[in-house]
C-alpha cells in the first residue's frame, strides 16, 4: 500500500531554503546546492566518492569577543582560509564544521550555531589521482567559549587569530572570505 504523504525533505534542503530567504543575492548558488543535494539518491554527495563534487562543512570560528576569526594557512591549497573539511558521509554539516574546527585547531569548548552562515561552491584542482571537482561548502559560525590557544595540525602550515575587520581589504584574500567578514560585521555578531 502506497502512502499519499510527500517524501520527507532533507534537513539540508530546508536549511538552504531558509538561507536563501536571508541572502537573496545568493539565490542562484543556493539553487546549485539544492540541485546537487537532489542527486543524493544517485550519487554519494556527502562523501569523496562523488568525484564530480561533494558537500563539505566549514567553520567561521570566532573568539569569545567575536572580533577575531581563526584562519588556517591551508597546506594543500597554500591559501589562508576558514577551517573545514569533508563530510565523510556525515549529513549534518553543522556537526562536520564543529568536528573540523576541533580537529584543525585543537581547541575545546566550541559551540556551533545551527543555521547556515554562508555557502560557497568552488573548484578544487586535481591532485594526484583525485580529479578536479566541486566543493559545495556549507559554513557555520563556531564560537570559542574557552581557552583560545590553538594547536597546529598536519593540515595547516599555520593558524592565526585575525581581526575580522582586517579581512575586508586584505590583499589576495578569497572573495568568499571577504563576504563572510562583511556578513559578520553587518550583523554585529561581535556585540552579542
Q: Which domains does the chain have, with CATH numbers?
A: 11-191 (3.90.79.10)
pLDDT of 6: 62
Q: Provide Rg for the chain, Cα atoms.
A: 17
pLDDT of 192: 43
Best CA proximity match to 36, nearest among 51, 60, 54: 54
pLDDT along the chain (192 residues), means of 10: 63 97 97 95 91 96 96 87 96 98 96 97 92 97 95 88 95 92 81 45
pLDDT of 43: 87
Three-class DSSP category at 27: helix
pLDDT of 33: 97
Q: What is the mean pLDDT of the chain?
A: 92
Could you report how far apart the first and last alpha carbons of the chain are, in Å? 52
Assessment of whether the complete model's pTM goes beyond 0.75: yes
Tens-place pLDDT, residues 122-171: 999 998 999 999 999 999 999 999 999 999 888 888 999 999 999 999 98
Best CA proximity match to 188, nearest among 97, 62, 102: 62
Three-class DSSP category at 137: strand
pLDDT of 190: 42
pLDDT of 191: 47
Amino acid at each position: 500500500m502506497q502512502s499519499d504523504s510527500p517524501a520527507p525533505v532533507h534537513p539540508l534542503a530546508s536549511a538552504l531554503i531558509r538561507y536563501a530567504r536571508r541572502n537573496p543575492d545568493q539565490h542562484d548558488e543556493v539553487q546549485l546546492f539544492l540541485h546537487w543535494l537532489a542527486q543524493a539518491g544517485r550519487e554519494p554527495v556527502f562523501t569523496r566518492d562523488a568525484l564530480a563534487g561533494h558537500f563539505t562543512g566549514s567553520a567561521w570560528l570566532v573568539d569569545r569577543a567575536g572580533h577575531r576569526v581563526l584562519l588556517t594557512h591551508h597546506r594543500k591549497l597554500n591559501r589562508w582560509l576558514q577551517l573545514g573539511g569533508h563530510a565523510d558521509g556525515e549529513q549534518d554539516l553543522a556537526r562536520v564544521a564543529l568536528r573540523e574546527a576541533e580537529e584543525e585547531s585543537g581547541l575545546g569548548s566550541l559551540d556551533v550555531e545551527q543555521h547556515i552562515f554562508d555557502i560557497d561552491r568552488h573548484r578544487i584542482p586535481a591532485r594526484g589521482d583525485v580529479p578536479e571537482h566541486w566543493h559545495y561548502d556549507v559554513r557555520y559560525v563556531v564560537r570559542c567559549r574557552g581557552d583560545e590557544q590553538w594547536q597546529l595540525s598536519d593540515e595547516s602550515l599555520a593558524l592565526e587569530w585575525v581581526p575580522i575587520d582586517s579581512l575586508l581589504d586584505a590583499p589576495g584574500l578569497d572573495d568568499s572570505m571577504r563576504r563572510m567578514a562583511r556578513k559578520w560585521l553587518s550583523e554585529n555578531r561581535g556585540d552579542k
